[in-house]
Amino acid sequence: MPRIARGLNDGFIYHVLNRGNSREEVFHKQGDYYSFVKLLTESMEQFDVRIFAYCLMPNHFHILVEPEKGEALSKFMQWLTTCHVRRYHQHYGTSGHVWQDRFKSFIVQNDVHLLTVARYIEGNPVRAGLVKSAKDWRWSSHRDRLKGAGNGTISDLPIALPDAWSSYTDLPLTSIELEKLRKSVAKRAPFGEEEWVHKTSEQHGLSSTLKGQGRPKKVMKIQS
């Protein structure tokens, strides 16, 4: 099967994720999580990227990131995962694949859809039943955000957060929001308003990710 074009272009924000090889657990103890978060912080100094949200789960991670240049995303992810795998093998005396294939990335529209993705990422531990509240999960950007962005790991989101963000993150996403997000992940498609998704996909060689989706219907305006 041919690779789907990544569409790593300038001026976009990406939802990035990867899973452990064969969906195996990667983070076995607190030190494993801490080491990866430390690498995330170091990456801010190595590459022109802004990290808006992240969450480490036992067998996968999510990152919401904006590279200064589209090509910087691949370099950032290669450095991050390569450094992590090297340290992982040194610590555990293992070899072979740690992560499943290459990372997946999806363009996110810079509007309320960005908040939906940030909320989805930081609410992961709650949906998985690991904690009752996102603020109780140590290994995500949620705690950083409550302390104030700009603490070295995350940057301020380019859109204002709703009041009581912590409580808002704990609320379940709607079935429509979850379905759209899961389709984006499954098809590696941009996530946003429907017309924007089609336009962005056509402009950046991602039309194949929209198979099975028709163009949004245009509403005819009736002159009064």
Task: Give the homologous superfamily in CATH for domain 13-191.
Answer: Transposase IS200-like (3.30.70.1290)
pLDDT band for position 45 (50/70/90)? confident
Q: Residue 204: what pLDDT?
A: 77
Strand-pair category, 104-108 with 13-19: antiparallel
Q: Which helix (H) or strand (E) holds 49?
A: strand 49-57
**18 vs 187: which has the higher pLDDT:** 18
pTM, two decimal places: 0.86
Helix axes 30-46, 70-92, angle to 10 degrees: 150
Q: Do the beta carbons of residue 143 and residue 73 sit within 8 Å? A: no
Task: Please give, one letter per residue, the 3-state secondary structure of 97-145.
Answer: CCECCCCEEEEECCCHHHHHHHHHHHCHHHHCCCCCCHHHCCCEHHHHH
**Tens digit of pLDDT for each residue in 75-125?**
999 999 999 999 999 999 999 999 988 899 999 999 999 999 999 999 999
Pick the closest to residue 88 from 135, 46, 29 (CA basis): 29
What is the band of 40 on the pLDDT scale with cuts at 50, 70, 90?
A: very high
Going from N- to C-terminal start, the domains of the chain cover 13-191
